Homo-oligomer: A and B are copies of this chain.
């Protein structure tokens, strides 16, 4: 047996990415209506100037600015109203010096006009004229063609998660289809002789499985789709059969469980046996997180991962590897972390990155990060934690009162 070296998180990530980079970033064509929450797989450029015409930003009168230069409150300038422009219509006629056209907010300026005088600064005078009491500078109250977005400009960048506002921008630009990253398929297998499915009542010694539910929901949160999940006993033949079955329709097969020494080896050995080149990461220097196993089967293009059985550890390792992988594939950046003052001293772990779950509280005009401890508080840790902060492996820990950056746990897709 080879010497089982533990990888740093960076090394494990690099190996993981190397095994999938050629094939996992597939994209599909969708409509803007389907785009909310999806991640762009292409840069989107505008094919037209926006706006496409000179628009008024106010209700008023389109004028030659030079005509109004001398206008003032006590000495108005008189202009002839040549036209009343309707919303959504091109002006019927151009205006000449001494003329103007009434124009609504958002209306198109007539040829000749180069500024708009607000209605408030004008009043009717005689049958067809207005008196203007305020000068309008060249371009005043006017949006020029392409002033918002120029034709050919980059509207939205690859890797952007489409927000509701982007759906609006796509509409404005007339984009009717776009390429978005597909959801890689993940299977979740949770192993343990003590585990039963959540709908059953545990007998003494049994507990309900958390990982198929929580890891599936976490994977969906990160833009994966669930190909299948199962709760399995600690049986090598069953495990091998179920992994092989899952490999048929999955890009990633996650096996959680086997926290005791013998079982950890079982998952590693099964993965190594049925895949080629097989297991390439035998552990990761992260806390919580041992054991963490990564392997790859080139023929079927499947990543095979062994995660801890402890739910909080399993989720943390999933976040660190497959949450990261999704961002790396798509170019979608992490959410902004929240600076918070830590409420107590936190030790670092020699040689290990530590991820501390914490609650976030708004106290005295700033956030306080309250680390969540406890051997037993499994479900409490699950439900109380708002996010986590990272203590570097080479750091000397974090002192009470220091500012840490809290990464909020992802909310949902």
- Chain A residues in the interface with B (C-beta under 8 A): 32-33, 36-37, 50-53, 57, 59, 85-90, 104-108, 143-144, 147-149, 155-156, 161, 163-176, 192-195, 198-214, 216-218, 220-221, 234, 259-261, 309, 311, 315, 335-336, 338-339, 360, 362, 365-367, 375-380, 382-383, 385-386, 403, 408-413
Instruction: Sample 19 A-B pairs with CB under 8 A, ordered by A number.
Output: A33-B213, A37-B411, A37-B412, A52-B207, A86-B193, A88-B193, A88-B206, A106-B259, A107-B205, A143-B376, A155-B379, A163-B221, A163-B411, A165-B385, A169-B210, A170-B198, A171-B212, A172-B382, A336-B386
Q: How far apart are A178's CB and chain B's nearest CB, in angstroms?
A: 12
Closest to A202 in B: B52
Known: A148-B376, A174-B201. A383 touches B166 (CB 8 A): yes
- Residues of chain B lying within 8 A (CB to CB) of residue A338: 336, 338
Q: How far apart are A128's CB and chain B's nearest CB, in angstroms?
A: 21
Known: A168-B210, A171-B198, A205-B53. A148 touches B87 (CB 8 A): no
Distance in angstroms between the alpha carbons of A105 and B194 in the assembled complex: 11
Q: How far apart are A389's CB and chain B's nearest CB, in angstroms?
A: 14
Q: How far apart are A67's CB and chain B's nearest CB, in angstroms?
A: 22
* B148–A380 touching, CB < 8 Å: yes
Distance in angstroms between the alpha carbons of A155 and B378 in the assembled complex: 12
Known: A147-B376, A148-B378, A234-B87. A336 touches B171 (CB 8 A): no
Distance in angstroms between the alpha carbons of A354 and B164 in the assembled complex: 21
- Residues of chain B lying within 8 A (CB to CB) of residue A403: 365
Closest to A309 in B: B106
- Residues of chain B lying within 8 A (CB to CB) of residue A379: 50, 148-149, 155, 168-169, 172-173
Closest to A377 in B: B148
Distance in angstroms between the alpha carbons of A366 and B149 in the assembled complex: 31
Closest to A386 in B: B336
* B148–A194 touching, CB < 8 Å: no
* B108–A204 touching, CB < 8 Å: yes
Q: How far apart are A155's CB and chain B's nearest CB, in angstroms?
A: 7
Closest to A234 in B: B87
Known: A87-B192, A172-B208. A261 touches B51 (CB 8 A): no
Closest to A213 in B: B171
Q: How far apart are A71's CB and chain B's nearest CB, in angstroms?
A: 22
* A214–B167 touching, CB < 8 Å: yes
Q: How far apart are A210's CB and chain B's nearest CB, in angstroms?
A: 4
- Residues of chain B lying within 8 A (CB to CB) of residue A211: 168
* A375–B143 touching, CB < 8 Å: yes
* B192–A32 touching, CB < 8 Å: no
Known: A412-B36, A413-B37. A367 touches B339 (CB 8 A): yes
* A90–B210 touching, CB < 8 Å: no
Q: 7 smallest A-B Cβ distances: which pairs? A: A168-B214, A164-B217, A37-B412, A88-B194, A171-B213, A171-B198, A108-B205
Distance in angstroms between the alpha carbons of A223 and B105 in the assembled complex: 33
Q: How far apart are A219's CB and chain B's nearest CB, in angstroms?
A: 8
Q: Which of B59, B213, B216 contacts A260 (CB 8 A)?
A: B59
Q: Which of B90, B173, B209, B336 contacts A205 (CB 8 A)?
A: B90
Closest to A50 in B: B379
Residue of A104, A175, A209 with highest tally of chain B CB at under 10 A: A104
Known: A194-B87, A199-B174. A383 touches B156 (CB 8 A): yes
